[in-house]
Amino acid sequence: MKKVFLIGKFNGFFKEMNEFLSGYFNVQVCVDNASLIRGMLELYKPDIIIISLMEMEQQKISIFNGLREAYSGVPMLCVGTEDGMKRFSMVLDKGMFKTLSTPIDNDKLLEQIFELLHIDYDVNSKILKGPDSNRKCILLVDDSPMQLRVLNELLKKDYDVQMATSGAKALTLLGQRLPDLIFLDYDMPECDGRMTLQMIREIEEAKDIPVVFLTGLNDGKHIRAVLDLHPDGYLLKPANSKMLNEALSKYLK
């Protein structure tokens, strides 16, 4: 189930939208406070961020600036009145945030969300036409948020992308949805790529998922250490679009 992070004033409009979306998504709500949003997003990695502009004061613009700087790889949708859109036009006009003006019906809201998530949805029949539109799922594991954002930008158009900043978080995501391929950073603190791969291989349902290591060191000793773990492949950082696509074509089942 896709994860929605819903931000806004806890008013009647917000409550109704939360209740409706909860029938289709895993929804996490948060009041419009920049520090609370930042803290919750460190724990909750959403597929899409939705912001209710209803009754939101103009001084809350720091919320938009923070989201734009730190979560540029996550689709964002702002829902509100035309007056609300004008109130935050200085950030909304820059194009990163999609907008949907009230009054809107639930079908229109769902249609916009599924479009941003690249999910094929039939509004008339109210069903998904093939969960996640039969897109392959790629799990990215790297302790660098910047590296994750770069890889996500290269992959999100054609794949459902999950991201984890540690081996432990990667295992949590495996419990929610099994990916079709894993790009795994070899050099991570605490639980490194070696340990993470070993734990993945101990999970019966995940043991056959192709794992491609990402490593920034290309000396012979380091490469031998990587290959001794018998991953399906490895790529040298920084990985580009061509390298990723070649790996995907080779290792995706």
Domains in the chain: boundaries:
3-128, 135-251
123, pLDDT greater than 70: no
Superfamily of domain 3-128, CATH level 4: Response regulator (3.40.50.2300)
Q: What is the DSSP string of 38-65?
A: HHHHHH---SEEEEE-TT--GGGHHHHH
As a whole number, mean pLDDT of residues 109-113 equals 88
131, pLDDT greater than 50: no
Q: Decide if 3-128 and 135-251 have a common fold.
A: yes
Give CA–CA dist 142/164, Å, rounded: 6
**How confident is the model over 139-166, as pLDDT tens digits?**
999 988 888 889 988 998 889 888 888 8
pTM above 0.75, yes or no: no
122, pLDDT greater than 70: no
129, pLDDT greater than 60: no
**How confident is the model over 23-73, as pLDDT tens digits?**
778 889 999 999 889 888 888 889 999 999 999 998 888 899 888 888 877
CATH of segment(s) 135-251 = 3.40.50.2300
- Pairing mode, if any, of strands 121-122 and 160-164? unpaired
Per-range mean pLDDT, top range of 118-122, 130-134, 235-239, 243-247: 243-247
**How confident is the model over 180-235, as pLDDT tens digits?**
999 999 888 777 888 888 888 888 888 899 999 888 776 666 677 767 778 888 88
